[in-house]
Amino acid sequence: MSDAKLEDLSIAEAGAKLRDGSLTSATLTRHALDRIAKLDGALHAFVLVTEERALEDAARADAELAAGTDHGPMHGIPYALKDIYDTAGIRTTCHSKLLIDNVPGRDSVVAAKLASGGGVLLGKLATHEFAMGGPSFDLPFPPARNPWNTGHITGGSSSGSGAAVAAGMVRMAMGSDTGGSIRGPAAYCGTVGLKPTYGLISRRGVFPLSYTLDHCGPLTRSVEDAAITTELLAGFDPLDPASADKPKADLRSGLEDGVAGLRIGMPRNLYRDAEGLSPEVYDAIERVGQALEAAGAIVEEVTLPDYALFNACGRVILTAEAFAIHEKDLRERPEDYGELFLMRIVTGAAISSADYIQAQRLRRELSLAVNREALKTYDVLLTACALGPAPAFADCPPDRPVFWPIQSMPFNVTGNPALSMPAGLSASGLPLSAQLVGRPFDEATLLRVGRAVEKATASWGATAPALLAAE
């Protein structure tokens, strides 16, 4: 078959072709590698391309399918990992000079599950240093750039993951989310980004930023692909203290059930008067709400605690825990960190134990407000993710951390599953987004609503990213 549009196939579509014999994993993988070679010089999404490993994985996947062995929906599908996921025998740098020669001896749980599921590893993706700070130009690798306009950022810190998926170099890339680092790049790059419930996917073998806020999750081209990936990766890990012992989730069977009768709450108070809110984003969220109402959902306004409380709570916890993780290296090797990372993390030294405990107490109160009040009445919340399109590199000050108008932190604080969805394009041609939030461990309903949004908004951003428009 012609491979001219192989990049447009979803995981499910590519998988069907692999199984009916009209496509091989070797062809799919070679196409992806050629696409990386063609596009990544402008995007810097990859810090390492594992071509030899990818071709070996693909050959093995084809041989297994030919022999009647099928490891599931990811079998033969190329993917990539944010460069904080340990990969046995393959460098994992966290985009930092401190780990530039770090070669783990063991796979992270996520990498191991993707390998056992027959996936094809294409390489490691750019991040911000230790998933914090950036975009930075004083690190071993350049920052990733946005395929919609390479003069703009991709968000942080799963920056390479957002760029790689948006550019069609991969169908799925793993990110991590401590304060919005899956959903931010998804929002800025026009992809789907799922932060699952805290504890659903093991974080063992992923370099931590914050022990109690970190989540692992996928960035994908579609809601179905997010469901496929999350089904494979979810599961109890007794060696991850945060891992939840829950039954295996079925996230795909109800995707097409629609939203008729579901109750959707819109906490406009979070974002209506927020600094940096674009009128285009506000209007896009309203249009999403109207589309859900037209599809049969009951859409009503709901009030949550002020965003400032969520943000202050999360920032105290994140910064204190990050400082604790890095304290030894900060004392012994401060010169090996990038400037922006240092600016962000040193404030953790000034956070007292009392500050940290009070933040954790507030966290409990905020979680109750979301889960025992708002989500007791509503099945899903519809709110803002990024408050505007992706900022330009030219607007990012080189001497201090960037202010990103994004409202992802509340649901790291509470641990609820949250989904960033494309919601059309700005007048400048950059993606807009909306955020859906579900009940703990109810990814099935969250993704079901996401699928309804996906169908309703399919025509809102039909043009390709600028980098791809000439193809």
**Active site (catalytic) residues:** 82, 157, 181
Residue among 178, 240, 175, 238 at smallest CA distance from 204: 240
Strands of 322-465, DSSP E: 380-383, 418-425, 431-438
- The CA distance from 184 to 29, in Å, is 27
- Pick from 64, 159, 175, 176: which is nearest to 120 by CA? 64
Q: Which of 120, 119, 233, 224 is nearest to 175 (CA)?
A: 233
Question: DSSP string spanning 263-320?
Answer: EEEE-HHHHTT-TT--HHHHHHHHHHHHHHHHTT-EEEE---S-HHHHHHHHHHHHHH
Q: Is 363 helix (H, G, I), strand (E, B) or coil?
A: helix
Q: Classify burial at 18, counting beta carbons within 10 Å of its beta carbon; exposed 0-12, middle 13-18, buried 19 or more.
A: buried
Cβ count near 417 (within 10 Å): 27
Radius of gyration of the chain (CA): 21
User: Cα separation of 281 and 386, whole Å?
Assistant: 8
Both tokens of 382, joined, read 């519809």
Quick check: 174 and 161 in contact, CB under 8 A?
Answer: yes
Catalogue the long-range contacts made by 251-257 (C-beta closer than 8 Å, 24 or more residues apart): 251/227, 251/443, 251/444, 251/447, 252/224, 252/227, 252/228, 254/444, 254/445, 254/448, 255/223, 255/224, 255/227, 255/447, 255/448, 255/451, 256/451, 257/448
Q: How many CB atoms lie within 10 A of CB 19?
A: 13
Count of CB atoms within 10 A of residue 414's CB? Answer: 25
Residues 257/227, Cβ–Cβ less than 8 Å: no
Are 120 and 130 within 8 A, CB to CB? no
Facing residues of 383 across strands? 435
